[in-house]
Amino acid sequence: MEKRIVTLILLCLFIFPLSAESERIVILGDGTYVSTCRDSLVQRSFDGGITWNPFPDGLPEKHIYPFKIKEYRDLSSIFCHEASGYMVACGSNFVSLYDVDTSIWKDIPTGEPIKVRSYFTSVAMKGTEEGYTVMIGTSCDGLFVTYDMGATWEIFPSNRFYIGGGFYEEITAICPVDNKEPYTWYASSLPDNQLYGYDPYIQRWKPLPTPKEVAANPIHAITDTGTALKVFTGTEVYEASYDGSEWYKYDGLELPVKRTAMTFSEATRKKAASDRTGIYLNYINGKPGRIENHIKFLKAHNMDSFVIDLKDDFGNVTCSTSNPVAAATGANKEYFDLAQLLETAHSAGMYVIGRIVVFKDERMYRYDGYKYAVKKKTDRKPWENGREYWVDPFCSDIWDYNISLALEFQEAGVDEIQFDYIRFPTDGKIQNIEYTWQHDSMTNSDALESFLKKAREAISIPISVDFYGFNGWNKMEKWNGQNLVMASKYVDVVSPMYYPSHFSTDFHKKGRNYMEWAEYIYEAGTLHSKLIGGYNNCLVRPFVQAFLVGDEKAFSESEYFEYYRRQIDGLTKEKASGFTLWNSSNKYYMVPSSFRASSKGRP
């Protein structure tokens, strides 16, 4: 087949409030465009991007609400082999080859030593006399290569990208080159956005000179034109020599990108939710005589919001409700008057975020003969882990129940709904869990996406979700179902828990002392979350560790004041959209009396 020079453009435009409809575009030498778009279809255009024809046959399907149309799994990367016209693509948990002879995408099997948790973020292929070599990059597990189309896989040297704790930086782009010395592959990673070359003689990746204007944005693609490299940062195209010594901006390529502004409702929600700073409160502190003291604390520190339990960790609905399911399960405890709380809070200028714990719910777990409880594979009896009682996240009855509560709270005047425990169990003997409500090959991420999609259709006020710190730092989903790329399509705010105490002690340590490390965790973590969710303009409002555990309990007052400030400094450097302090006891002793937050509408 005639050799075609391929230009690969990954368009992930982080321009608020605009977003790109075409995420990734391959421009072939004959003028043909190949693109993956927001609807996850692979499409081809023969007229410069004016009209598009999908060709997704064979790509993995996903099964999400409303289950009426065929949908395909999102693609992370697409690469076209220059000489043959074959294409490879990857999504979070699959790698596919496009066979030009059959016009069908075929699965490339993956297996050991690739980790079960691995999330595939980039892919490339090269031809050799022995056949095709396919390399995949991951979000946190390094690089892997197969020389026999997936029959066997090997770990590809990834030393340069190792960050400690068994994790690697995300590989955002891969590119092979033929007969070029001294490098045989090129790659880039987050968050440094630098170009790297792989030296096969020493089996190491070497950082190459990368101009600041290039590294200021994520590198989404690297391609070999035969005489130089083209490097794409999403909005700009650069040409670089193979050793990185020469760079110049390339203006000879017109990007066929359509841009659409956010809808009015989306823009309104995000404006209301942005830059909110506050604290978490349990239901006890929603009572009269208590809530006033917390509002006084918030005002003293220039904060303007609080998260309050409306459905707690055991499934109790903490305020009056007309919901029949809550009544039937005995969930309605009416610990405080929501109308009174909202009147008190709103008159003080507070933004009220209603927390709903979704899939950890003892009331629904025990209801109707354990109908909704996750079960044990061994005897099909209810599965539990200590005082954790989980309902089946695949069950649409559970989705509807939580959404109906959210709608009631919205009608009452709550400013934002925050879904917590929007994940699958992670502790205990999870390998013995059977999900009896799972159907149609749904994955864990499919279940969470179905819930969020249905919630977004129903709820008109801002929606936020709580994420594990690692799930905000890296693209992940196989561990607990949480996928920030997916969630950002439906929610307005994501709140990762970047608690330093919960990270491995050698994760990104690199000579930093504990306080410096805590600041870095919030700085780099916020950056990662913004990059992952940025395509859909998702706001990042981290939780701040306002409690001490382990050796931290030995901190003096001055030390824990500094610990607190370091976290705030880190998220501030990366311009997080506010923060929420978390202490389950609601005792915020770590906040210095002199601290003042930079809240919305305040100096």
Which CATH number do you get for residue 131?
Answer: 2.130.10.10
* pLDDT single digits (tens) 434-491: 999 998 789 999 999 999 999 999 999 999 999 998 888 889 998 899 999 999 999 9
Looking at the structure, tell me whether residues 420 and 508 fall in a common domain.
yes
Cα 321 to Cα 404: distance, rounded to the nearest angstrom: 10
User: Is 179 inside a domain boundary?
Assistant: yes
What is the span of the domain harbouring residue 453?
A: 264-357+395-582
pLDDT band of residue 534 (cuts 50, 70, 90) is confident
Percent of the chain with pLDDT over 70: 91
Residue 226: pLDDT over 80? yes
Looking at the structure, tell me whether residues 149 and 220 fall in a common domain.
yes
Q: What is the pLDDT of residue 388?
A: 92
User: Is 57 inside a domain boundary?
Assistant: no
* pLDDT single digits (tens) 279-333: 999 999 999 999 999 999 999 999 999 999 999 999 999 999 999 999 999 999 9
Looking at the structure, tell me whether residues 159 and 216 fall in a common domain.
yes
User: Is 143 inside a domain boundary?
Assistant: yes
Looking at the structure, tell me whether residues 229 and 320 fall in a common domain.
no
More confident residue, 603 or 252: 252
Looking at the structure, tell me whether residues 87 and 145 fall in a common domain.
yes
pLDDT band of residue 15 (cuts 50, 70, 90) is very low
Rg of the chain on CA atoms, in Å: 25
Cα 83 to Cα 253: distance, rounded to the nearest angstrom: 21
Looking at the structure, tell me whether residues 228 and 290 fall in a common domain.
no
pLDDT band of residue 2 (cuts 50, 70, 90) is very low
User: Is 114 inside a domain boundary?
Assistant: yes
- Dihedral sign computed on CA atoms, order 452, 453, 456, 458: negative
Looking at the structure, tell me whether residues 199 and 162 fall in a common domain.
yes
User: Is 48 inside a domain boundary?
Assistant: no
Q: What is the pTM of this model?
A: 0.92
Looking at the structure, tell me whether residues 231 and 283 fall in a common domain.
no
Looking at the structure, tell me whether residues 146 and 225 fall in a common domain.
yes
Looking at the structure, tell me whether residues 303 and 450 fall in a common domain.
yes
> 209 to each of 7, 143, 223, how far by Cα in Å?
22, 22, 17
Domain boundary among 260, 291, 307: 260
The CATH code of the domain that includes 448 is 3.20.20.80
User: Is 376 inside a domain boundary?
Assistant: no
In a 3-state reduction of DSSP, which class is residue 236?
A: coil
| End-to-end Cα spacing for the chain | 65
Residue 496: pLDDT over 60? yes
Q: b/e map of 398-430 (b: 16 or more CB within 10 Å)?
A: bbebbbbbbbbbbebbbbbbbbbbbbbbeeeee
Dihedrals phi, psi of 431, to nearest 5 degrees? -70, -15
In a 3-state reduction of DSSP, which class is residue 229?
A: strand
Number of structural domains the chain divides into: 2
Q: What is the pLDDT of residue 367?
A: 97
Looking at the structure, tell me whether residues 557 and 458 fall in a common domain.
yes
Residue 278: pLDDT over 50? yes
Cα 385 to Cα 377: distance, rounded to the nearest angstrom: 15
Cα 175 to Cα 196: distance, rounded to the nearest angstrom: 10
Task: Give the strand order in the sheet containing 247-249.
Answer: 221-224, 229-232, 237-240, 247-249
* pLDDT single digits (tens) 107-152: 999 999 999 999 999 999 998 778 899 999 999 999 999 999 999 9
* pLDDT single digits (tens) 553-598: 999 999 999 999 999 999 999 999 999 999 999 999 999 999 999 8
User: Is 229 inside a domain boundary?
Assistant: yes
User: Is 61 inside a domain boundary?
Assistant: no
In the predicted model, what is the mean pLDDT of the chain? 90
Looking at the structure, tell me whether residues 208 and 288 fall in a common domain.
no
Range with lowest mean pLDDT among 249-253, 298-302, 381-385: 249-253
Which run of H or of E encompasses 586?
none
- Amino acid (one-letter) located at 381: K
296 Cβ partners below 8 Å, 6+ apart? none
Q: What is the pLDDT of residue 14?
A: 28
Cα 467 to Cα 567: distance, rounded to the nearest angstrom: 17
DSSP for 114-144 reads S-TT--EEEEEEEEETTEEEEEEEESSS-EE
Averaged pLDDT, 190-210: 94
